[in-house]
Chain A
Amino acid sequence: MTHTQKRIITNNIVMVLSTLSAIIGIGFLFWILGVLVINGVDALSWTIFSEEGAPPGYEDSGLKHALIGQFMIVGVATLFGVPLGVLAGTYLSEYGQKSKLAETIRDISDIMMSAPSIVIGAFVYAIVVAPMGHFSGWAGSVALTIIMLPIILRTTDDMLQLVPSTLREAAFALGAPKYKVITQVVYRGAKAGILTGILLGVARVAGETAPLLFTSFNDNFLNTDMMEPMASLTVTMYNYATSPYEDWQKLGWAAAFILSMFILTLNILGRLIIMKRKGK
């Protein structure tokens, strides 16, 4: 066998192997997606949205409590996380720039983005739940805010840096003070990017379960008082899926499906906004 033939054969073997691993990897992932869609669609019904949790065996049980709880916990976290993240990102891009302080904040935020979220849960337990004496929706929101902050901060920073400095200079030349330049020129230029960052940040925290386990805890019934323990889709999903009751497991799949669709929609929306902007 000549050297060339050997190389061609090795090449073919590697190509087959890598295509095969791609097929295996992608196959597994589509298996999960398929399972999710089949079980989820099967479990969906109107009572899911209109009824609260019920003991196993009841006909009329739903996820209304978890949907509303999820919405409130994530909503409050967004309300805090977005302005804080955008402000901090503004500092990095517009004031700190390449300074040592700004670079350190960037590095620490990057690390925080990958840090284990269950540890954030333990931290919030110590500073919110323990002093209050009980679990609460607020504690859950605080945990999610902490997780969201570095994500919004980094995307805002990146997106503001993409705004051409000539725009800023033009505004300065007209005599505008810096805060006006930032709020009226830079923010406008980076609007789409910041929005995408927010969507991805919300999508990320909406799927968090671990930090909610011992902050907002859970409640099998509807509760809209943030001072009390609150249901979330993710914790409800965990509790129902690990229960031995078939109807609860089914509700768990419904919760999984609704949550995944929500998260995928936000992700796709974020991509579309960015793409549209690039297209211009």
Chain B
Amino acid sequence: MYMTQQSMLLCAVFVPVVGAFFLPIAGRISLKFRNLFALGLVLASFIFSMSLLPVALSGKSILIARQMGMGINLIFLADGLAVFMACVSSLISAIIILYSFGYISHYDNQNEYYSMVVLFLGSMMGLVFSANLILLYIFWEITAITSWRLIGFFREKEHVLRADKAFLVTFFGAVVMLIGFISIYQTTGTFDLTPGAISNIAVLLILAGILSKSATLPFHTWLPDAGVAPSPVTALLHAAILVKIGVYVFARIFIATFTVSAFWHTAVPIIAVVSAIVSGGAALVETDLKRLIAYSTISQIGFIFFGLAVGNTMAVAGGLLYILMHGFAKAGLFLCAGIIEQNTKIRDITKLGGLITTMPVTAMAFLLCSFSVMGIPPFGGFFSKYMVFSGAISSGQLWTSAAFLIAAVLTILYLFRVFNLVFLGEPKTSRAKEGSFIMVASVAILTALSLLGGIFINYPFNFVQTIVSNLSGIIR
């Protein structure tokens, strides 16, 4: 069957979006069928995104545009940046769904789980390919609603309150951002993403939305609280979808489309570094395993913002690469945390210990993913960290770079603290067994991807280079 590239783009978005609604029906047929169907939808989205890769790598882009009323046009654009993000998100989501087969089989409401997760991913795909601000906003809010449902998945009172908090904070940010979009409309007369300069007020408003979605200081505290969600959901939130929306939209709006005043190239790194250090420090104190990893995400997101905001070629490329490498490693860490949580029923790391003897694979995967987050070669995290720093220093960000060095030190400290408390020492719990095969396998896949991403660094590196060089008209 011959498909045009336009229809591939639409399939990448709408196969999961529409398919999500059929999952509850599939659940009536057979649970196994439903599970595979969900995986199939996400994999299909991944494959369709991959099929756009050759075009994106050649520096061209694919555009679908339908004019509608009031400036709300249906415009989908697949350029390098969008395809990159789509591939990363759908790949990690697919692995997380695979893991869910093992994890979620113990709980009720599985139909809801799978359809929400697939819809979540679908709206992410819609968001990355959107080239109209209102369209982007709509997908943005669908992710907010699905994540609200998923965070409160276990339906305990406290969990629902936490889900509400996450929703309210991100919704508040999104509305502020919407006002920013309208102010752009007032100056440019269109919601379509067209290059031009935008006012500082618009930047500030949009930034509030982005920071709240990407859980950056001072809008970050919903993310640790969202740790009550099922582990695969937290992995999705942290590694593949939710917090990556903010950084993606940052890249899309402030780097790829509009020009902003030089002030923001100084201000955003400062916000990022404060966020990275405060959350890195909090991670060193926190004792709840999942909250701790959440703080780690906030800290690492700071590095991504740093790279993107500094704005020179090397740093932006590093920031994008960071999205990829952090995605693999952080998903791996959360899925390990899920195995630990499910098999010991404990999340307080001070009450755990000695698990390396009974969970050797999980322990190794946790350690190796930690190495990648710390940025140790040959893991992928090394290159992304190096590039961010290198780009930042060559554009004169000496003091912020020095402060980020502290954040990098904290990263090493808190990750080893977790590893030490959870896996080493004397066992404090009854004999916990290793996770099921499929769960351990998904963790191993993510670990392997972290390693391969570093060894074969030239492929992702060249990809982000191509993306950035096509953006370079806008970059300073």
Do chains A and B interact in one complex? no
Where the two chains meet, the residues of B that have a C-beta atom closer than 8 Å to any C-beta of A are none
Where the two chains meet, the residues of A that have a C-beta atom closer than 8 Å to any C-beta of B are none
